Amino acid sequence: MATTSIWRVKGWLGKVVIYAENPEKTANPKFYADRELTEQDGQELSDVIRYAVNSEKTQETSSKDGAPLHRFVSGINCSPATARDEMLAVKKRFGKEDGTVAYHGYQSFAPGEATPELAHEIGVKLATRLWGDRYQVIIATHLDKENHLHNHFVLNTVSFADGIKYHRTRKDYHEMQTVSDALCREYRLSVIENPQYGKAKQYGEWRAEQEQRPTWRGLIRTDIDEAIRQAMTERQFFDALRKKGYAMKVGKDISVRPPGKERFVRLMRNFGEDYSLDNIRRRIISQSRPERKNPEQKPEILRARLIGSLKTARKLTGFRALYVHYCYLLGIFPKSRPQQSRKRLHFLLREDLLKLDAITAETRLLIGHRIDTAEQLFSYRDEVNGKISALTEKRKQLYKLQRTAAVKSDPEKAAEVKAQIAALSKELAALRKEVVLCNNIAERSGVIKNKIKAVREDEHIKEKEKCDRTEQQKTVR
């Protein structure tokens, strides 16, 4: 069984990566721009190709020494190494460089059904049958997630044959799944018989659900469900949403906008018939009583012991102070803090619950190396890059040594060199992760400051509105 989908890439990589695995890169795309690229379209196309052919995801390595064995990347009507330039050349030839820069598709296989070789072979055949006579396509098989083998397709929007632009329609969705099913039958893989067509989940949401991670839309649905449980009337339902900071528009479908966001989300369109206005009314009416917090529940008393003196204690500043404060706001620590309290977090904070592992890792790096300023951060990053260069050169020399006749003829020496290469590869992987963390800190720190500021402003407005209501009630009395 293989599921498929395809969507357009218009704008920065956020419209692709947020549906994949690395949403951190969407907040400030310019931070990731290649310095030699001058055209934004070139960067957009370069980004999506770079993500699809990421060697960490598409390269099979030896379990013993980490040496590359096979890289599952192919090109149709273009070479993977020069795909960006070839695709841009076709766009320029026909004068169609604006608008959608590419289409990004995927084909995901059932756990354990296919090998990397088989998945890639099916992906190449699928792309050939669908687009091979007119368009340039990159096919990359991602192996980075256990039991989640899947192909990514990057499709140029402009045909090299006649310059006609590709436009995805419902028919294209259906044809992609039909051809994929036919190939699965050819290779004796399972196929969903009589599929029920309707609105599909977005790729990122489906992936997050499989990995039991929260999603942006999932947070909204949780708030809607909670507001329904707390209401006995339609008015109480909308009041509950307003208290959570949502803006609303009611028409044929209810549209809500979370606090701090620019776009509205249509409930029925995104979450199904259960979230139509009529069905929300039915769900409210069917309740015998609204959900209330347990009034007998006593607040947990936290006790702490001070070691040393507050006067002599050195306060955290800069990045460390910012991250530690943000971790506290998110409920990452103290560890004894009840998870239930996270439901009461501001929406802008709750959406970062998706990124707890990344934020925790960045905090540990800042604390462990006492990094407070941008200068210290970039100095540390340059230091790590220097180590990477030195170790890479050392490993390069070991690869050369490994190919010499003297080492090949001596099994013990060959095993020793192989072990040294494996140790260097492991050390390089750890250092490269630290470079990524440094880059993410440089980007995320500004986003965190803006979020904290927005949350405080919202809380100030709510507190002012509460005081105004209290004054009005006193005046009426």
pLDDT at residue 38, as a whole number: 39
pLDDT at residue 325, as a whole number: 85
- At residue 39 the predicted structure's pLDDT band, cuts being 50, 70 and 90, is very low
pLDDT digits (tens, 9 = 90+) for 343-386: 567 777 777 777 888 888 999 899 889 898 988 999 999 999 99
pLDDT digits (tens, 9 = 90+) for 451-473: 888 888 887 887 887 787 777 77
Burial class (CB in 10 A: 0-12, 13-18, 19+), 372: middle
Whether 11 is in a domain gets the answer yes
Rounded distance between C-alpha atoms, residue 258 and residue 240, angstroms: 13
pLDDT at residue 12, as a whole number: 40
The reply to whether 164 and 234 lie within a common domain is no
pLDDT digits (tens, 9 = 90+) for 387-430: 999 999 999 999 999 999 999 999 999 999 999 999 999 999 99
- Structure token pair of residue 256: 């809500």
Domain that includes residue 274, residue range = 216-285
Q: Which of 44-58, 149-163, 170-184, 294-308 has the lowest mean pLDDT?
A: 294-308
pLDDT at residue 35, as a whole number: 37
Asked which of 163, 179, 210 is the last residue of a domain, the reply is: 210
Could you give the angle at the alpha carbon of 320 between the alpha carbons of 314 and 321, nearest 5°? 70
Look up residue 314 and give its DSSP letter: P
Rounded distance between C-alpha atoms, residue 9 and residue 26, angstroms: 13
pLDDT at residue 22, as a whole number: 37
The Cα-based distances of 400 to 111, 393, 396, 406 in angstroms read 39, 11, 6, 12
Whether 176 is in a domain gets the answer yes
Say whether pLDDT at 57 is over 80: no
pLDDT at residue 17, as a whole number: 33
- Structure token pair of residue 239: 């009041």
Rounded distance between C-alpha atoms, residue 322 and residue 241, angstroms: 30
Asked which of 229, 263, 285 is the last residue of a domain, the reply is: 285
pLDDT digits (tens, 9 = 90+) for 217-262: 788 888 899 889 888 888 889 988 988 888 889 888 899 988 877 8
Average pLDDT, stretch 131-145?
Answer: 87
Q: Domain count of the chain?
A: 3
Coil, helix or strand for 265? strand
Residues of the chain above pLDDT 90, percent: 24
The reply to whether 456 and 347 lie within a common domain is yes
Whether 307 is in a domain gets the answer no
- At residue 188 the predicted structure's pLDDT band, cuts being 50, 70 and 90, is confident
Q: Where are the alpha helices (DSSP H) in 96-250?
A: 116-131, 170-186, 203-210, 216-229, 234-243
Q: Identify the CA nearest to 152 among candidates 58, 89, 76, 241.
A: 58
Count of alpha carbons within 13 angstroms of residue 83, beta-carbon side: 29
Q: Between these two residues, 43 and 19, which has the higher pLDDT value?
A: 43
Say whether pLDDT at 41 is over 60: no
Whether 295 is in a domain gets the answer no
Rounded distance between C-alpha atoms, residue 216 and residue 219, angstroms: 5
The Cα-based distances of 37 to 65, 107, 327, 378, 475 in angstroms read 36, 30, 36, 22, 64
Whether 298 is in a domain gets the answer no
- Structure token pair of residue 105: 């598709």
